[in-house]
């Protein structure tokens, strides 16, 4: 390492990395409606990374999609102040794998590679972070990254296609239907009549590609349904409408690549009518019961189903698998698989692993190890075909 590179690193708030440490790029913020949730998750992840093992780089992405690094990027994002930060990007070029910085030279903006990153740790919830898009960038860059790949991320994110995959694997899901935003805007009466045939009220409306209950509405009548459709359509061009059931909400954390493991199940007692965005992140009256009060047989069945769903979408690294248990019939339905679950101090994913014997810092270590393991497996793939006669 020459002195020039050291000056570049110090200029953007990054110390040169000791040889015995891995450099982890924690990415947060993003362009989705879950931007603020991502900041909360990132705070917990950054606090859990052992500074004796890792060199941490905070990488923030604004609502507009601009990438920044610097000193305390997280605090700058919370305050909405970016002037002291340095713009960076990741190029889809494996020969330039790492963070590249924008610099102004002779009134021209140029990109200069600044620092290698051993593992990217995306803590990006929702669109452009959990849907396979940033994973595709990492794949093109030949980078190691925490979590599911392109396929697992996109399948887990899209609630409509996900239901199709679950049904194809004989995994029970609640009845629902996907409609387009265009149908809501141009054929609203016909669309509502069609949706009311799914089941009696209540119905739920959800953006097909969003999490943290953003844009989700529980609809008790036609007026509610019209409002719910418009609300969900704000966040996606595809909207899922599904039957509402009076249900217990059970969650299970899954960890691993080819041989995943499931945590003990936990139950959420939401403070609101359902586990809304406000109930998840702001209402202190929501309760988490860990482990959930279930029979051993029922728990084992759900845990096995969680792993089956995880494998069905080719998930990797981590996921939180959410179930609904019908209070009347006692049957369970798989609701969704979150490939980048919340990592806040009150989030179920790390709490379930803690209750299963894996503490938060060790969980982070394991996720980083799984990212390197998956990259090593990917690097075994031959990309050139040579036909020998």
By C-alpha distance, which of 236, 158, 223, 160 is closest to 192?
223
**C-alpha dihedral, 196 to 202 to 203 to 206, nearest 10°:** 150
Are 89 and 100 spatial neighbours (Cβ–Cβ below 8 Å)? yes
| Fold classified for 3-145 | Rossmann fold (3.40.50)
| Fold classified for 176-243 | Dna Ligase; domain 1 (3.30.1490)
**Tokens representing 97?**
């794998």
Q: Any idea which architecture 156-172+246-377 has in CATH?
A: 2-Layer Sandwich (3.30)
Please, what's the b/e burial string for 315-353 (b: 16 or more CB within 10 A of its CB; e: otherwise)?
bbbbbbbbbbbeeeeeebbbbbbbbbbbbbeebbbbbbb
Q: What is the pLDDT of residue 250?
A: 97
CB count within 10 Å of CB 281 equals 17
Q: What is the pLDDT of residue 122?
A: 97
Q: Is the pTM of this model over 0.75?
A: yes
Phi, psi of 184 (to 5 degrees): -65, -40
By C-alpha distance, which of 3, 29, 28 is closest to 16?
3
Write out the residue limits of the CATH 3.30.470.20 domain(s) in the chain: 156-172+246-377
Strand 54-61 relative to strand 22-29, pairing = parallel
Strand 266-269 relative to strand 247-256, pairing = antiparallel
- 54-104 pLDDT per residue, tens: 999 999 999 999 999 998 999 999 999 999 999 999 999 898 778 998 887
Are 229 and 184 spatial neighbours (Cβ–Cβ below 8 Å)? yes
SS3 of residue 250 by DSSP: strand
379 membership: H or E segment, kind and range: helix 360-379
Overall size of the chain counted in residues: 389
Q: Which residues of the chain have pLDDT under 70?
A: 1-19, 113-114, 211-212, 272-285, 388-389
CB count within 10 Å of CB 43 equals 18
Write out the residue limits of the CATH 3.40.50.20 domain(s) in the chain: 3-145
State how far the Cα of 140 lies from the Cα of 176, in Å rounded to an integer: 35
Q: What is the pLDDT of residue 105?
A: 77
**C-alpha dihedral, 5 to 90 to 310 to 36, nearest 10°:** 90
By C-alpha distance, which of 276, 316, 321 is closest to 299?
321
**Tokens representing 343?**
């990592």
State how far the Cα of 84 lies from the Cα of 323, in Å rounded to an integer: 44
Distances 180 to 16, 163, 227, 241 between C-alpha atoms, Å? 50, 16, 15, 11
Write out the residue limits of the CATH 3.30.1490.20 domain(s) in the chain: 176-243
Q: What is the pLDDT of residue 12?
A: 43
Contacts of residue 197, Cβ cutoff 8 Å, sequence gap at least 6: none
By C-alpha distance, which of 190, 225, 216 is closest to 335?
216
For the packed helices 348-355 and 360-379, what is the interaxial angle rounded to 10 degrees?
100
């Amino acid at each position: 390492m020459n002195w020039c590179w050291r000056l570049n690193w110090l200029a953007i708030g990054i110390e040169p990395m000791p040889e015995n440490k891995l450099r982890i790029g924690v990415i947060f913020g993003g362009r989705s409606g879950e931007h603020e949730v991502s900041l909360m998750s990132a705070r917990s992840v950054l606090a859990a990374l052992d500074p004796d093992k890792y060199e941490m780089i905070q990488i923030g992405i604004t609502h507009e999609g601009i990438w920044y690094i610097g000193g305390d990027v997280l605090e700058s994002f919370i305050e909405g102040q970016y002037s002291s930060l340095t713009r960076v990007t990741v190029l889809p070029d494996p020969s330039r794998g790492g963070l590249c910085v924008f610099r102004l030279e002779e009134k021209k903006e140029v990109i200069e590679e600044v620092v290698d990153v051993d593992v990217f740790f995306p803590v990006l919830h929702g669109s452009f972070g959990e849907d396979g898009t940033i994973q595709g960038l990492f794949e093109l860059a030949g980078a190691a990254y925490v979590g599911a790949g392109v396929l697992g991320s996109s399948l887990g994110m899209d609630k409509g296609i996900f239901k199709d995959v679950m049904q194809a694997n004989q995994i029970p899901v609640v009845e629902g239907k996907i409609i387009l935003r265009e149908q809501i805007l141009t054929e609203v009466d016909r669309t509502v009549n069609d949706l009311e045939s799914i089941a009696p009220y209540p119905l739920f409306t959800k953006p097909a590609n969003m999490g943290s209950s953003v844009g989700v509405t529980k609809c008790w009548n036609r007026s509610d349904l019209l409002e719910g459709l418009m609300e969900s359509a704000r966040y996606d061009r595809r909207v899922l409408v599904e039957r509402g059931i009076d249900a217990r909400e059970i969650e299970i954390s899954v960890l691993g690549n080819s041989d995943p493991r499931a945590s003990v199940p936990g139950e959420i007692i939401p403070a609101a009518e359902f586990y809304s965005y406000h109930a998840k992140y702001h209402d202190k009256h929501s309760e988490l019961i860990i482990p959930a009060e279930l029979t051993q047989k029922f728990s084992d069945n759900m845990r096995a189903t969680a792993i089956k769903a995880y494998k069905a979408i080719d998930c990797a690294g981590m996921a939180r698998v959410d179930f609904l248990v019908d209070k009347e019939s006692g049957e369970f339905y798989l609701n969704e698989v979150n490939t980048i679950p919340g990592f806040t101090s009150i989030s179920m994913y790390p709490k379930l692993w803690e209750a299963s014997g894996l503490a938060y810092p060790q969980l982070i270590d394991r996720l980083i190890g799984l990212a390197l393991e998956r990259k090593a497996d990917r690097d075994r793939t031959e990309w050139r075909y040579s036909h020998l006669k």
